[in-house]
Amino acid sequence: MRIEGRKERVMSLKSGRALTGGEANPYGRVAGSVLATIRRLAGFTQERLAERLPVAPTTLQGWESGRKPLLNVPFARLSHLRRTLLAVGARSDLLRVWDVALEVDAILSDLVDPDLDTHPLALVVPDRLSTELLTWPLTGRPPRQLAATGARLDVHHDERAVTFDALRRLSEQAKGSIDRHAMLRRQVQFLLANDPKSTTLIAEQQAADLRQARDIREWSPAWALVRSTAVTAAGTGDLEPLQHFIQEGLSSEQGVLANLSYWAYWVGELPERWSADSAMINGNGFAWSGERLFESLLDGVVTAPYRDLCAHTLWALLRCRRQLASHPARRARLLAAAHHALDGGQLTKQARHKLDEVIYATEVLA
């Protein structure tokens, strides 16, 4: 989609003052804000880094603010910028975040694309880092990798209103067949969950999706949609869709493995990007260590609103990765988290049974 057409599309989405330039869409500012954070933590002022590049200080200021989106910078120049950042002491973990932020800006640049078949959220499955970068302009909450860095991304409420308006229109367009555009619909609904004005709309759409998805005992696009709906609903305090998903969606070995594979992808265990939800069952199997997923589930089984699903997934993970609990320190954390979750009294009988099995198997390893 051409950059020069974005202003006209956004003006058609919202009446009143026409947003212009960088105001028309939050794209450009995600990677720019990460760049500013990297520079600041490396101990460089804008003037000093601009001199090293070399570019005019106003150019670097434009990149960091999003007035001159990094998406418009030629690849060779971007590569030179990255090499320079590395040379001046930029943290490698934050450079990884910056790489993903550039991809996220590309998604945001086409977020109001009305073509359902070419929409970026119909062509890529974001992992947790990508998703947290995508929601940063919508919520003001930076991803966990930036939480302690003082990173800021200022987005005017008018911009958020424009973006949420576009997403609501998109979610309405994506209704219909449970299979067609299911991946797009579930991801748009996830983003709209950050908009209080969309609560009723999303609840109605998700209820309709659940009615249509009659059988999720085997994997299908409907399975992935129901899983996403269940997790989102749990975040609002509605646990019924989650219990339905656990009972039906995890009743087969294929469903258990699909859930495990997707969660591993979500936390960043897999290096490649998925282009479709079907990668949950057609991907590279279990060519991942499980260490990131293990740590994420230990936290989730205690604190996540969907802790029941965390308990089931932790059980499935240790069934195929028993060695994760063999290290004494890791085993101690596992037992502490499992007992804490059981003592909390907020788990279903089935989830408690899974954790009891986890504890038994872990203590046998000791």
pLDDT by residue (tens digit) across 31-46? 999 999 999 999 999 9
Q: For residue range 80-107, what is the model confidence (pLDDT) as tens digits?
A: 999 999 999 999 999 999 999 999 999 9
Say if 348 falls within a structural domain. Answer: no
Ranking 4-8, 124-128, 209-213 by mean pLDDT, the lowest is 4-8
Say if 228 falls within a structural domain. Answer: no
| CATH classification at residue 130 | 1.10.260.40
Say if 191 falls within a structural domain. Answer: no
In the chain, the number of structural domains is 1
Q: Return d(Cα 21, Cα 141) in angstroms, integer.
A: 24
170: amino acid identity, one letter? L
Residue 130 pLDDT grade (very low, low, confident, very high; cuts 50, 70, 90): very high
Q: Which domain, by its residues, includes 13? A: 3-165
Say if 352 falls within a structural domain. Answer: no
Per-residue confidence (pLDDT) for residue 156, from 0 to 100: 86
Per-residue confidence (pLDDT) for residue 115, from 0 to 100: 87
Say if 357 falls within a structural domain. Answer: no
Say if 245 falls within a structural domain. Answer: no
Residue 345 pLDDT grade (very low, low, confident, very high; cuts 50, 70, 90): confident
| pTM, to two decimals | 0.88
Say if 71 falls within a structural domain. Answer: yes
Pick the more confident residue, 67 or 3. 67
Helix orientation angle between 29-41 and 75-87, rounded to the nearest 10 degrees: 20
CB neighbour class for 349 (10 Å; exposed up to 12, middle 13-18, buried from 19): exposed
What are the Cα distances from residue 10, in Å, to 4, 15, 23, 159? 11, 9, 10, 10
Residue 363 pLDDT grade (very low, low, confident, very high; cuts 50, 70, 90): confident
Can you read off the two tokens belonging to residue 342? Answer: 């059981």
Q: What percent of the chain has pLDDT over 90?
A: 74
Q: Return d(Cα 334, Cα 341) in angstroms, integer.
A: 11
Q: For residue range 230-280, what is the model confidence (pLDDT) as tens digits?
A: 999 999 899 999 999 999 999 999 999 999 999 999 999 998 889 999 999
Say if 103 falls within a structural domain. Answer: yes
Across the range 199-218, mean pLDDT stands at: 88
Ranking 107-111, 143-147, 285-289, 330-334 by mean pLDDT, the lowest is 285-289
